[in-house]
């Protein structure tokens, strides 16, 4: 099994930023207002910001996953999730669906999703193949739901998975820790932001080695 250094040095890597949006992360967002604990989000945001800065400095592609929900995607099964608590989350065109304290730049890619996994009925797989990505560096919220769902589906599609556990967050430490254990046990590796940055600095990525789209396109 390859080491973390081998995964990020020898294969093409992309940072996947999952659902860092107001309804999940802002104190006035739908889930925090329903009682979800934001302490994990607050502690991970500086790490995520630093990871994104260093990814850009080392020409590592960044893919932002943005959830939208609307009547056209609200199946009967879907709207009953979380006992209906999530029915008002990230409605298309709403403030709650906007990004929270992250701002995609023109070289970054935005992929919209309507379910927990960013691979379900989206263009993510096509984007990754175009970029020749083999390793997914997973970040965002929540660790045990959308981040883990995307990581699991990515692994099933033969991508290497690296979960940056200090750059993602759940609404409980127990849930977060369970995903870290699951990923390390069955689906990939868990690492910290400093470990990832150190690997990139040592590997010396160059911008002409990584294919990037000219500007983001929203699906």
Closest CA to 63 of 22, 118, 143: 118
* 19 has catalytic annotation: yes
Are the C-beta atoms of 41 and 172 separated by less than 8 Å? no
What is 45-58 written as a DSSP string?
HHHHHHHHHHHHHT
Q: Mention every residue, 6+ apart, whose C-beta is less than 8 A from residue 124.
A: 63, 65, 111, 113, 118
Active-site pick, 146, 166, 168, 199: 146
* 36 has catalytic annotation: no
Active-site pick, 23, 36, 90, 113: 113
Active-site pick, 19, 23, 108, 166: 19
Helix (H, G, I), strand (E, B) or coil at 137: strand
Q: How many residues does the chain have?
A: 219
* 208 has catalytic annotation: no
Residues annotated as part of the active site: 19, 113, 146
């Amino acid at each position: 099994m390859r080491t973390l250094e081998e995964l990020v040095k020898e294969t093409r890597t992309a940072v996947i930023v999952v659902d860092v949006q107001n309804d999940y992360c802002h104190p006035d967002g739908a889930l925090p207002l329903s009682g979800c604990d934001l302490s994990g989000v607050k502690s991970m945001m500086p790490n995520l910001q630093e990871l994104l800065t260093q990814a850009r400095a080392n020409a590592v592609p960044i893919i932002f996953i943005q959830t939208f929900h609307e009547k056209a995607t609200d199946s009967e099964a879907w709207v009953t999730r979380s006992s209906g608590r999530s029915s008002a989350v990230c409605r298309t065109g709403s403030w709650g669906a906007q990004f929270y304290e992250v701002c995609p730049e023109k070289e970054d890619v935005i992929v919209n999703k309507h379910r927990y996994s960013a691979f379900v009925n989206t263009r993510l797989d096509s984007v990754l193949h175009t970029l020749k990505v083999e390793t997914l560096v997973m970040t965002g919220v929540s660790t045990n739901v959308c981040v883990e769902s995307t990581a699991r589906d990515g692994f099933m599609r033969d991508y290497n998975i690296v979960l940056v556990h200090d750059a993602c967050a759940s609404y409980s430490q127990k849930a977060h820790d369970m995903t870290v254990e699951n990923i390390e046990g069955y689906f990939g590796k868990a690492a910290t932001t400093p470990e990832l940055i150190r690997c990139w600095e040592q590997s010396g990525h160059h911008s002409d080695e990584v294919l990037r789209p000219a500007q983001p396109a929203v699906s």
